[in-house]
């Protein structure tokens, strides 16, 4: 996918989350998500931290070359595992609770996400950025942000049955990431649609016995990312 398309995908991913949360009541923002222990406003704050990270990275170009791409980024180090993951989860819950009302997180998101998208549009597509200890090409960095936003969009709406899902362009980036993690030697079962692939590929849904038969030894690779 070209750099322009990566920017479009990120814009669609972030707008998709905005569409879900913009008109939620404070009660709905306190509904559970797929992320254990996190309510909707907690998870939104976590994704907002990604948008903030995007602003910092895109405003601070790094010298190349890249040491990871949009796929190997997810393989390079564990994310949110162990003590660090638990500490981050506590920080998110406490930070979200510090707002006067859950809708305060939404206002913060609605200010920050469009700014991150504008920064992405203005970034040099041939440039590099540094983030979380790695250097990526700008288009690959945008793809990682899009993938995380799409997966967390699905997490956000688990108890919001009328909410729309992520858009097709953003979803295509996220599924391409999982396809890359499967490698050229394996493919997802033909019976899976994109949402099922994303939920099972990230461990949100368990593999069934049929899935394991269809995947064979590849089933041992799951989840592909957390």
pLDDT tens per residue across span 11-56 = 999 999 999 999 999 999 999 999 989 999 999 999 999 999 999 9
Q: 162 is written with which tokens?
A: 């009328």
For 32, 65, 127, the CA distances from 27, given in Å and listed in that order, are 11, 47, 43
| Whole-number Å distance between alpha carbons of 25 and 144 | 30
In a domain, 156, yes or no: yes
Is 42 a member of any domain?
yes
User: Is the Cβ–Cβ distance between 11 and 3 less than 8 Å?
Assistant: no
The pTM assigned to this predicted structure is 0.95
The predicted structure's pLDDT at residue 81? 58
Closest CA to 210 of 192, 187, 226, 186: 192
Domain that holds residue 8: 3-170
On whether the CB atoms of residues 152 and 43 are closer than 8 A, the answer is: yes
Residue 122 lies in a domain: yes
208 in any annotated domain = no
In-domain check, residue 19: yes
Per the model's pLDDT, the better-predicted residue between 67 and 97 turns out to be: 67
Within a domain: 223: no
- Number of domains within the chain: 1
Question: pLDDT tens, 146-181?
Answer: 999 999 999 999 999 999 999 999 999 999 999 999
User: Does residue 127 belong to any structural domain of this protein?
Assistant: yes
Confidence of residue 89 (pLDDT cuts 50, 70, 90): confident
Residue 205 covered by a domain: no
Q: Count of CB atoms within 10 A of residue 20's CB?
A: 22
pLDDT at 78 exceeding the cut of 60: no
Tokens 């945008």 belong to which residue?
Answer: 142
> Which residues lie closer than 8 Å to 157 by C-beta, 6 or more apart?
20, 163, 164, 165
pLDDT, tens digit (0-9, with 9 covering 90-100), for 90-143? 888 898 889 999 999 999 999 999 999 999 999 999 999 999 999 999 999 999
CATH number, position 119: 1.20.120.450
Helices 138-156 + 168-182 axis angle, to 10? 110
Q: Which residue has the tokens 């953003």?
A: 170
């Amino acid at each position: 996918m070209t750099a322009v398309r990566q920017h479009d995908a990120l814009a669609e991913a972030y707008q998709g989350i905005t569409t879900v949360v913009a008109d939620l009541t404070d009660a709905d923002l306190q509904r559970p998500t797929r992320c254990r222990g996190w309510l909707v406003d907690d998870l939104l704050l976590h994704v907002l931290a990604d948008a903030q990270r995007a602003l910092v990275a895109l405003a601070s170009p790094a010298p190349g070359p890249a040491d990871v791409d949009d796929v190997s980024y997810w393989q390079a180090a564990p994310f949110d595992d162990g003590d660090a993951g638990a500490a981050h989860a506590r920080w998110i819950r406490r930070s979200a609770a510090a707002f006067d009302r859950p809708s305060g997180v939404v206002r913060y998101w609605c200010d920050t996400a469009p700014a991150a998208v504008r920064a992405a549009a203005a970034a040099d597509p041939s440039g590099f950025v540094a983030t979380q200890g790695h250097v990526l090409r700008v288009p690959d960095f945008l793809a990682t942000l899009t993938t995380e936003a799409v997966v967390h969009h699905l997490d956000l709406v688990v108890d919001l049955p009328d909410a729309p899902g992520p858009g097709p362009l953003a979803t295509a980036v996220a599924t391409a990431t999982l396809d890359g993690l499967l490698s050229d030697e394996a493919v997802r079962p033909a019976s899976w649609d994109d949402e099922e692939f994303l939920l099972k590929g990230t461990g949100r849904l368990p593999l069934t016995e049929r899935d394991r038969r269809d995947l064979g030894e590849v089933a041992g690779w799951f989840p592909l990312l957390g």
